[in-house]
Amino acid sequence: MLSAKVSAALNKQIELEAASSQYYLSMASWGETQGLNGVSTFLYEHADEERMHMLKLIKFVNERGGHGIVPSLKQPPVTFKSVKAVFEEILKHEIMVTNEINNLVETTLKEKDYTTHNFLQWYVSEQIEEEALARQIVDKLKLIGDDKSGLYFFDRDLESMAAKTKGQMDKAKGQR
């Protein structure tokens, strides 16, 4: 059984994962309107991945006798300055999410909830990957600068990265 504190903290994380999904979905839609098919495919996948993070939490909370609450969400930004600005935002956002996961882990230790602590280790590893990936993409974009053909190849690269993410997501779904 979850304590009131752990339950509230997990529901806060559910909200954050949902907001992340919504945010990336908005970025994906913007990318599509800019003719950036690779960028938008990658971001649509990323939005789905965040939704999966949310679902995993909802199911866990319910399994442990709590109630996973589906949150209402604020409208995310709808336009972005550039592709680089989008990925810099993602990196910033993921660093914030990592901090929130760490706070959540700390709450479970204070509450001596070792089951939830164990469950959250998946999120701890996932955040390492998400931050590393966002950092890698921002670095690539810095190298490309204003080079239009560089951006064209970058967009194509992201399309194949999206296919990889989809594969990982399907695997994670299978493990749920």
Among positions 9, 36, 47, 97, the unique one binding ligand OFO when judged by CB under 6 A: 97
The residue from 2, 17, 40, 47 that contacts ligand OFO (CB under 6 A) is 17
Q: 96 is written with which tokens? A: 């914030």
Question: Does the footprint of ligand OFO cover residue 88 (CB under 6 A)?
Answer: no
Q: Minimum Å distance from CB 133 to ligand OFO?
A: 10
Rg (CA), the chain: 17
Cα separation, 14 vs 69, in Å, equals: 8
CA dist., res. 149 & res. 140, Å (int): 13
> Using CA atoms, how far apart are residues 59 and 37, in angstroms rounded to an integer?
33
* Binding-site member from 86, 130, 133, 158 for ligand OFO (CB under 6 A): 130
**E strands in the chain:** none
Residue 94 binds to ligand OFO (criterion: CB under 6 A):
yes
H helices then E strands: how many in the chain? 5, 0
Angle between the N-to-C axes of helices 114-144 and 37-63, in degrees from 0 to 180, rounded to the nearest 10 = 170
Whole-number minimum distance, CB 7 to ligand OFO, in Å? Answer: 19
CB of 163 to ligand OFO, least distance (A): 19
Stretch 43-82 residues interacting with ligand OFO (CB under 6 A): 50, 53
Q: Which is nearer to ligand OFO, 76 or 150 (CB)?
A: 76
Q: Which residues bind ligand OFO (CB under 6 A)?
A: 17, 20, 50, 53, 94, 97, 126, 130
